[in-house]
Amino acid sequence: MKLESFWTDTAPRFAGASDAPLPRKASVVVVGGGFTGLAAARALAMAGTDVVLVEAGRVAGEASGRNGGQCNNGLAGDLGGLAAKIGMDAARALYHAFDEGVDRVEAIVRDEQIQCDFVRNGKLKLADKPEHGEKLGKTAEMLAREVEPNLRLIDKADLHREIGSDQFHGGIVFPRSASLHMGRFAAGLAEAAVRHGAVLHEQAGVTAITKIPGGRHRIETAKGPIEADAVLLATGASMKGPFGWMRRRIVPIGSFIVATQPLRPGQVARLMPGRRNCSTTRNVGNYFRLTADDRLIFGGRARFALSSPRSDLKSGKVLEAGMARIFPELADFPIDYTWGGIVDMTADRMPRAGERDGIFYSTGYSGHGTQMSVLMGERMARVIAGDAAANPWANLKWPAIPGHFGTPWFLPLVGAYYRYQDWRR
């Protein structure tokens, strides 16, 4: 069993990073080579902007290359709650931004001819408890009326056509959602950015950013300094370096995944006949899907801890037990991969993007990041070019989380709170 991401282990390693010295200046420096940074670098280069991307480790080495492989539409939070705060029209627009995110991923895959198994297989939200089934019914009614006319509510009795498990109490299918091989998409996106003229540097972690005369910025990196007219921070939750302001606003939640060996003949038809992107309704729930070669990728929060090889192993055992509860015939089924990563969560599970002190940022996708990071990379390229209205999240305030000074000491408390909520309802 390998302690690394199935996606990065089974994709060609991106080989287009520059080994030349860092240029002295660029119009835009993008910090971070996950999907946000890569999509921004590609879009900026396509618009003719001189752009340099600096990545602390390897391209897509963090969340973008370590996630659950789901590219779902739909908000991470709930539409009704959001509408109560900002009005239904504005909430609808933010909901549809996720639809557009999935469309943008599909368009890039097509335009750049990236072989990454992109397929619109649909998301299946599964009710963990009878009460959750009732609540899903109400949610489905509102979503169908306001934003998602093609969704399908599925009763417990009909669920076996989608999933071979007796654990659930109904579900909703969101047909627009998609899945893809994240490692191959990341490598293809990075190669496309370079083809269009972006310069990508790996092992070039940023350690300081200072203002210099003329409203410009000096960025210190592990490969030396570079000056830029504009900087985009696309550092996700793994942000290392001088980003205390953002760190105090992000809850870095560990999420963990196991990938089985390919299922045996007959098991796919028995266990996952719908081949959907599944997720469950509990706060400490699970998400799972099949790969193109019929492995089950099974993830969840498992433990409220950050990712490390030891932590990933412990979490993998919790996940194996969860997988066996849902699919008893997979108890003791061989596991080929176990890994973990850090999710860029905000307190209200809505993304945040904007500009502060002349530095642009986009983050906080709260587990719904594959489509939103790609959309926001492209949108922030437009914002940097002067089109402020391109940022759909511009009007959301972003206060610091009380008591959060950068180190998430409170994660065990958050975990205990969520587990209590799951036990109660």
Query: Binding residues for ligand FAD, per CB under 6 A?
Result: 31-37, 54-57, 61-64, 66-70, 205-206, 234-236, 238-241, 255, 257, 287, 299, 341-344, 363, 365, 367-370, 373
Task: Give the shortest CB-199-to-ligand FAD separation in angstroms.
Answer: 14
Q: What whole-number distance in Å separates Cα of residue 367 and Cα of residue 350?
A: 10
Using DSSP bridges, classify how beta strands 25-31 and 51-54 pair: parallel, antiparallel or unpaired: parallel
For residue 166, the SS3 value is coil
Task: Give the shortest CB-155-to-ligand FAD separation in angstroms.
Answer: 26
Task: Give the shortest CB-241-to-ligand FAD separation in angstroms.
Answer: 3
For residue 175, the SS3 value is coil
Contact in structure between 76 and 367 (CB atoms under 8 Å): yes
Task: Give the shortest CB-158-to-ligand FAD separation in angstroms.
Answer: 25
For ligand FAD, the closer CB: 130 or 207? 207
Task: Give the shortest CB-34-to-ligand FAD separation in angstroms.
Answer: 2
Task: Give the residues across from 236 on adjacent strands.
Answer: none
For ligand FAD, the closer CB: 194 or 342? 342
| Tokens describing residue 151 | 């969704």
Q: What whole-number distance in Å separates Cα of residue 252 and Cα of residue 407?
A: 9
Q: What whole-number distance in Å separates Cα of residue 250 and Cα of residue 363?
A: 9
Q: At residue 143, what is the residue type?
A: L
Using DSSP bridges, classify how beta strands 359-363 and 352-356 pair: parallel, antiparallel or unpaired: antiparallel
**DSSP letter string, 186-233:** HHHHHHHHHHTT-EEESS--EEEEEEETTTEEEEEETTEEEEEEEEEE
Task: Give the shortest CB-261-to-ligand FAD separation in angstroms.
Answer: 20
For ligand FAD, the closer CB: 133 or 290? 290
For residue 199, the SS3 value is strand
Using DSSP bridges, classify how beta strands 171-174 and 51-54 pair: parallel, antiparallel or unpaired: unpaired
| Tokens describing residue 411 | 């994660």
For ligand FAD, the closer CB: 88 or 313? 313
Task: Give the shortest CB-4-to-ligand FAD separation in angstroms.
Answer: 13
For ligand FAD, the closer CB: 133 or 178? 178
For ligand FAD, the closer CB: 169 or 352? 352
Task: Name the closest residue to ligand FAD (Cβ).
Answer: 369
Task: Give the shortest CB-237-to-ligand FAD separation in angstroms.
Answer: 6
Cα of 350 vs its chain's centroid, Å? 12
Q: Say if residue 14 is exposed, middle or buried (CB neighbours under 10 Å; 0-12, 13-18, 19+).
A: buried
Task: Give the shortest CB-65-to-ligand FAD separation in angstroms.
Answer: 7
Q: Say if residue 57 is exposed, middle or buried (CB neighbours under 10 Å; 0-12, 13-18, 19+).
A: middle
Helix residue ranges, H only, 291-334: 309-326
For ligand FAD, the closer CB: 37 or 133? 37
For ligand FAD, the closer CB: 217 or 368? 368
Task: Give the shortest CB-89-to-ligand FAD separation in angstroms.
Answer: 25
For ligand FAD, the closer CB: 133 or 341? 341
For ligand FAD, the closer CB: 49 or 67? 67
Query: Which residues have CB under 8 Å from 209's CB, separation 6+?
Result: 217, 218, 219, 220, 231, 242, 359
